[in-house]
Amino acid sequence: MKHKEILELLNEMTIEEKIGQMVQITGDVFLSEDTNSILTGPLKDLHLSKEKVYHVGSVLNIVGAEKVKKVQDEYLSKSRLKIPLLFMDDIINGYKIAFPIPIAQGCSWNPKAIEEMTEISSMESSIAGANVNFSPMVDLSRDARWGRVMESIGGEDPLLGEIYARTMVKAYQGNRLSKIGKMVSCVKHIAGYGAVEAGRDYNTVDMSEREFRQYYLPAYKSAIEAGAEMIMTSFNILNGIPSTVNKWLIQEIIRKELGFEGIIISDYGAIEETITHGYSANEKEATRNAINAGVDIDMMSGIYANHLKDLCLENQEIENKVNESVLRILTLKNKLGLFENPYGNSNVVQEKTYLMNPTNLEKAKKLTQETFVLLKNKNHVLPLQKNKKIALIGPYIDNIGITGSWSMFSDRTKNGTILDIFKEKIGKDVLYAKGCEILRQEEINKILSADGLPTVHVENESQKEQEMITSALQIAKKADVILLALGEHYKQSGEACSRSNIALPENQIQLINELYTLSKPMVLILFNGRPIELNTVEEKVNAILEVWFPGTTGAKAIVEILFGEENPSGKLTMSFPQNVGQCPVYYNHYNTGRPHHSNLRYVSRYQDIPTESFYPFGYGLSYCNFKYTDMHLNKHKMKKNETITVTVKIENQSNYAGYEVIQLYIQDLYGSVVRPVKELKAFKKAYFQSHEIKYVNFEIDIDMLKFWNDKLEYVAESGEFKVFVGGDSVNVLEEKFELLK
């Protein structure tokens, strides 16, 4: 359809039909045989009539080619102008093939790997009928208490956020949305959601404009520059105003400054929640605030559907804004080719051949292995030797629930478990004991209750718990090495999963303590959606392999890493705290006037724990042993139109081949505003043969030295800088250079 035809369609629409395009509801209403179903369930709360339902422009979380066709047909059969629905979905880390959760993907430090995962996910999703995916989430995340860090692709670093946001948007959308395998990328959440106070979901965000621009805005900016077609607002307030009705944020920053021309959609019910925030007095005012701010689509609140018409009748300017929003929505549907083919790229035949195909599963396994982070490997207990007797213990040994809390469409029954893969590797005679449940029933009941589900009472739970530990001890006594698979429940991380205790559950710690008495080497495999507190556990195990929630091929990927068939190369994108009381903790912090460099009393420190993180940003071991030496700068004075070449010698002092992520950080020693102790400015992932030596080069240019100064100008200031190169943010070589005026 040509632009002229879209304008003609817009002019033909009634005000009710226009407003309908700006409303999103759940799509299951169109699947019901009961025509009265639209008056019950969630839609009853939204106060939507049958007529309004058949005006809506998009539906939520309907996927599957046959289902999409049925919904679209039902909708179009009763739609006057036959404007097709948009199908939007939460496919956060894969559709049928669940890839590692986003925080894990970021730990690959490999944009190409993330691109490949996104392309497979996009192809699967679009074949299944999805037009829009609410991904990527590019919120900067510094606080492990916040449950949604599991969705944060860039973790605590703005550079990673920029690179990954750009990579994923381009992988989802390509250069033509109607092309097979492509879909709209809806970037979320504008803005600053990762900085919620106390790490508590939906909570307050308050920060200076400089902090916002320096750290939180870059990933959103990168996504917009990559061509993102849609942005979702966040639930939080930002400096006193809910993001969803924040004119400065949406109009001044996103629209004018960053030049975003696509669609702004609210998060689920967020417009209505501005009343609860205490910003909007009632639903009509919430509607006015949202449309004036520039929100094009109201997700699941009924606010626009019930109040926007009255506002249009009262104010021509509001109606003009409605026309602008509807034009954006119709334009996007046209880009997707939906006017010619309302079913988009959905294809029943391709669903049967492409989804979960062996080629993609094998690729998924390889990509998954890049996301694992080896945190400890004392006495080289890993890789495991097949001639050793290995005791498999823990609730995640024989568990298919390793895909994460957002993997609602994946087929978990086809995952396979660690126990299954071990039996394939070393035969059926495997030493196995569950050892404990993931959580005690009391903790599970809290989760069930929060989800509105009935709780369960277990008789003699403490007795059963002790019996499981006893059985595990008996198995472990027969083994040379103990392999423990422990961690969070998948429902302990994700949206609405903030936690003040981020240690392993007490029953799991009890199991570790009991097994520790056997004085046998122990390898801990960690399943979790956030950095967790390990200070009481680390000293009792010989090795720790962080696998997050690794997805469909996770079990096979884990076992191959454990036996050395592949070499771990992941690096942390979020710091692990010493203790939850340290949160938020992040590497690119500012110095205080009394930094903690000694045990003196009057310095910035804790009395009971170290100041530094337990495992730092960028950290991750390998079966290789990489040694960094001979760092060299080709010059130590730099003009603003010049570059400096940094060279470092890296030697793989081991018999293993593997990847290393070489990281470059810069510190601006003195500025018009205080600058962080270091900031990641570049990285390279390089493959080393055993005992290979490489000289790795980086170019420092003027853009790496820019920041938002005291006048909120984005500039580089002359003066002294430090440059650091290493395998993480702490263990680095350093040199100085000067930027001349």
**Torsion sign (Cα): 556, 562, 567, 569:** positive
Cβ proximity of 636 and 661 under 8 Å: no
Report the share of the chain in percent with pLDDT over 70: 98
**The two three-digit tokens of residue 695, written as one number:** 């000289």
Please provide the DSSP assignment of 37-89 as one string. Answer: GGGSTHHHHHT--HHHHTT--EEES--SHHHHHHHHHHHHHT-SS-PPPEEEE
Residue-level pLDDT at 649: 98
Residue-level pLDDT at 43: 64
Predicted structure pTM score: 0.96
Q: Convert the pLDDT of each residue in 514-551 to its tens digit.
A: 999 999 999 999 999 999 999 999 999 999 999 999 99
Given a cut of 60, is residue 36 above it in pLDDT?
no
Domains of the chain from N-terminus onward:
3-350 (3.20.20.300), 372-569 (3.40.50.1700), 626-739 (2.60.40.10)
Given a cut of 80, is residue 267 above it in pLDDT?
yes
Q: Binning pLDDT at 50, 70 and 90, where does residue 386 land?
A: confident
Element (DSSP H or E) covering residue 327: helix 316-335
**The two three-digit tokens of residue 602, written as one number:** 């009057």
Catalytic positions: 267
Radius of gyration of the chain (CA): 27
Residue-level pLDDT at 38: 52
Q: Binning pLDDT at 50, 70 and 90, where does residue 37 land?
A: low
Residue-level pLDDT at 673: 97
Please provide the DSSP assignment of 276-318 as one string. Answer: HHTS-SSHHHHHHHHHHHT--BEESS-HHHHHHHHHHHH-HHH
Question: How far apart are the C-alpha atoms of 51 and 394, rounded to whole Å?
Answer: 54
**CB burial of residue 11 (10 Å; 0-12, 13-18, 19+):** exposed
Mean pLDDT of 686-712: 98
Q: Which of 65, 64, 51 is nearest to 15 (CA)?
A: 51
**Bridge-based pairing state of the strands 522-527 and 626-633:** unpaired
Cβ proximity of 586 and 622 under 8 Å: no
Buried b or exposed e, range 225-256, using 16+ CB within 10 angstroms: ebbbbbbbbbbbbbbebbbbbbeebbeebbbe
Element (DSSP H or E) covering residue 558: helix 554-562
- SS3 (DSSP) at 118: helix
**The two three-digit tokens of residue 363, written as one number:** 């690729």
In degrees, rounded to 5, the angle at the alpha carbon of residue 20 between the alpha carbons of residues 16 and 21 is 125
Please provide the DSSP assignment of 621-639 as one string. Answer: B-SS-EEEEEEEES-SEE-
Q: Binning pLDDT at 50, 70 and 90, where does residue 384 land?
A: very high
Question: How far apart are the C-alpha atoms of 341 and 180, rounded to whole Å?
Answer: 12
**The two three-digit tokens of residue 45, written as one number:** 């709360």
Mean pLDDT of 643-662: 98
Q: Which residues pair with 649 in a beta bridge?
A: 629, 695
Cβ proximity of 531 and 575 under 8 Å: yes
**The two three-digit tokens of residue 72, written as one number:** 């679209």
Q: Binning pLDDT at 50, 70 and 90, where does residue 50 land?
A: confident
- Scan for tokens 């880390």, then name that residue: 93
In 473-621 the beta strands, taken as DSSP E runs, fall at: 481-487, 522-527, 543-546
Q: How far is CA 706 from CA 226, 578, 592, 644, 701, in A?
A: 21, 32, 22, 15, 10
Q: Which of 491, 499, 513, 514 is nearest to 439 (CA)?
A: 491
* Average pLDDT of the chain, as a whole number: 95
